Amino acid sequence: MSFGNAKWVWMNGKMVPWEKATVHASVHALHYGSGVFEGIRCYETEDGPALFRLDAHLERFVCSAAVYEMSIPYTSKELTEAITELVSANGFASCYVRPLCFRGSCNLRVDPEDCPVDLSILAWPWAPLHGSDSSKAGLRVCISRRKKFHSDMMPPTAKASGQYVNSILAIREAKHQGYDEPILLNTEGYLAEAASENIFLIHGNTIVTNDEQDSILLGITRLSVIEIARDLGYEVKIVRLTIDDLMTADEAFVTGTAAEVVHISQVDGKRIGNGQCGPITLRIQQEYMRAVQGRNPGYAHWLLPVKKATAMQV
């Protein structure tokens, strides 16, 4: 990943040159992780760049901030205008967009009450998280010894900056062992999620995934894939998942905005199926990409063309 082509950042209502989009070392969020964020993809379509499910991402962004008692100082309409303006200003045909709401500089007490709420938005070209060939190669994963935190500890359904320290520890452990990605269990021993992706398993023609009771972030890509799979005629069940469910699955895949849809080839050295991308996963993967690239009119409502939104602003 390189930020090299990014020229502008949106910060607290203004477009700022990339190299000047900085904060002070005393910012509360830098010390304590007191921020929330979103990851949004903008895809190249026949109608120009289009943001995928921006409304759902902004809704979650606002909800995450509310959990941490931060009131975002901009409306969803203003954030939409800021994001589309940023994509246009940078001249991107496709990119990844990262809004970040965080506690700024005032003091360094753990209680952030007096610290201002700041907001920045980044955009840069970013290939799929696990590489441009990940959709074919798949992921080698391991069961992490790190557990995903319980909702009594922190709210997993909020996409908060500091909470990802849990994932950092897990993914570094996995990489040191030669794997691509960890699978975290929850405190009860059920499957939770990967470092930053949701998990789906396929047994026969049935697709299963878990939900918030197992300490997961309710991913926007997860919700999209559930809808796509059901539209394709597959049964999708929301159930608790065990390690045995994963190890005996015919197919398995993970989903996330950054990762998109990627199959799991093996777990702790054991192949899932034949180790290749299975037929159901492949079909869902293909339909998901058709949706995000504007090639399936049935999901056109998920896309906001940047040029259309920018024209409306004028």
Q: If you write DSSP's letter for every residue of 13-25 in order, what string do you get?
A: TEEEEGGG----T
- The set of catalytic residues is 159
The pLDDT-based confidence of 132 (bands split at 50, 70, 90) is confident
Q: How confident is the model at residue 49 (pLDDT cuts 50, 70, 90)?
A: very high
In the chain, % of residues over pLDDT 70? 97
pLDDT, residue 309, reads 61
pLDDT of residue 311: 59
State the pLDDT confidence band at 314, using cuts at 50, 70 and 90. Answer: very low
Average pLDDT over the chain, rounded to an integer: 96
Cβ atoms 207, 229 nearer than 8 A: yes
| Three-class secondary structure of residue 62 per DSSP | helix
Tell which wins on pLDDT, 132 or 6: 6
The encoded tokens of residue 278 equal 């299975």
* Separation of CA 7 from chain center: 23
Residue 246 pLDDT exceeds 80: yes
Query: What average pLDDT does range 166-190 have in this prediction?
Result: 98
pLDDT for the residue numbered 288:
98
| Domains of the chain, first to last | 8-124 (3.30.470.10), 134-277 (3.20.10.10)
Average pLDDT of span 106-133: 95
- Kindly report the pTM of this predicted structure: 0.95
| Strand-pair category, 235-238 with 95-103 | unpaired
Task: Give the C-alpha separation, 25 to 304, whole Å.
Answer: 36
Q: For residue 118, is pLDDT > 70?
A: yes
State the pLDDT at residue 307.
84
